[in-house]
Structure 1
Amino acid sequence: MTEPSPAPWPPAPISTERLVLRASEARDRAAFIELFASPEVGVHVGGSRPREELERAVPEVPGRRHGLFVAERDGAMIGMITLDRRAPERPGHVRPEGGEAELGYLFLPEAWGHGYATEACTAVLGWFAGALPGEPVVLCTQTANGRAMRLATRLGFTEVERFEEYGAAQWFGSWSAGGPVFTTP
């Protein structure tokens, strides 16, 4: 998470049926660049960045921060899951003071459609519920992103509100431990 938290970081790697969720390593640099340069991914996050810019800007060990999990399949990074504190000045909160943990994820396009995001997010939410019991998690996505809306539902997020942000209609939901969580087959 972007601010200090009582949860130890990084946690031990989390293994699921098909993935390992772990802290970032130097070997992930090329995949981070590919992820942020991808036009397909960029559609959902405000645009892709030029590869040349990323080659200069991405550190040797990218994403090395509290709350970022690399999703690895067969020894290679295929995406990332983040838990960051939602800024109090942004719309969408379940606490008056804001600062809730916000789930985010990005996967390389070749990993889409295989259930990896569901599997990874389910595991991260389970870890979070054990590390910070009772803490809510929020998720915000464009209403136009049907895949993300379906994933939010499968993960057990409940709609709190809708609003306009970044020039697009947004869906905002909340999750808490004990609610329904989809498990992958």
Structure 2
Amino acid sequence: MEPLGGVAWPPEPIKTERLVLRESEARDRTAFVELLASPEVNTYLGGPRPRDEVERETPEVPERWPGSFVVELDGTMIGQILLRRATKHRPAAVGKADLGYLFLPQAWGFGYAAEACAAALDWFDGVLPGEPVVLATQTANVGSMRLAAKLGFTEVERFEAWGAEQWLGMRSPATQST
């Protein structure tokens, strides 16, 4: 994956009804370690990494690059939204912006992922108008499949990778996120 390119970074923080999307800061490091080491978060992403390895390899200010948003609720990081260029992916996805998201388990089930992803996609539509966005997830990840549908992604293909069936969806620039 590569940065989006051609966008001013970082943007002003993006505020929704309940959340703030912003660039990462040193105070987010603990939450990033938890995201990467959590068995629940990484169930469909190849499994968690060992906590000591994550602690050792995570910089003081993690994930600070264009397209990486911290999702904040009441001043605390609860997740991350990623928008980056797909480079080594399915042919239908290469060169397109790829949406990814990770949320801490305590933030699941409240609609935060939908709210944050919709805000990030609205921002993307404003800075790179006319560009489609892709999203890949395991078909077994029911929550992610529901989120993709809610955000307006439609199936392009299913394929086998990493020992599981994967789903690739695309959102055209005209799709309205909710």
The whole-number CA distance in structure 2 between the counterparts of 1:145 and 1:3 is: 26
In structure 2, what is the Cα distance between the partners aligned to 1:92 and 1:172?
11
Normalised by the length of structure 2, the TM-score is 0.96
Q: What amino acid maps onto 2:18 in structure 1?
A: R
3-state SS, counterpart of residue 177 of structure 2: coil
Contact 2:84 2:98 in 1 (8 A): yes
Q: Following the alignment from structure 1 to structure 2, what is the Cα–Cα distance between the partners of residues 14 and 34? A: 23
Q: Residue 79 of structure 1: CA displacement?
A: 0.2
Percent identity between matched residues is 61
Work out the CA distance in 1 between the residues paired with 2:177 and 2:84.
20
1:2 CA displacement: 2.6
CA offset at residue 53 of structure 1?
1.0
Distance 1:73 1:92 in 2: 36
Aligned residues: 178
- Matched with 1:124 is 120
- Kindly state the Cα deviation for residue 6 of structure 1 after the two structures are TM-superposed: 1.2
Q: How far has the Cα of 1:62 moved from its partner?
A: 0.4
Letter in 1 for 2:155: E
- Runs of 4+ with deviation above 2 angstroms: 1-4
1:24 Cα deviation after fit:
0.4
Is residue 18 of structure 1 aligned with residue 18 of structure 2? yes
2:75 corresponding residue in structure 1: 75
Q: TM-score, normalised by structure 1?
A: 0.92
- Who is 1:60 aligned against? 60
Letter in 2 for 1:84: R
Helix, strand or coil at the partner of 1:42: coil
Partner residue, 1:91: 90
Residue of structure 2 equivalent to 1:100:
96
1:4 is displaced (CA, Å) by: 5.7
RMSD: 1.3
Partners of 1:111 and 1:20 lie apart in 2 by 14
Equivalent residue for 1:139?
A: 135
2:29 corresponds to which residue?
Answer: 29
Q: CA deviation at 1:93?
A: 1.3
Structure 1 residue 166 displacement after superposition:
1.4
Q: Which residue of 1 aligns with 2:162?
A: 166
Residue type at the aligned position of 2:159: F
Corresponding position of 1:110: 106
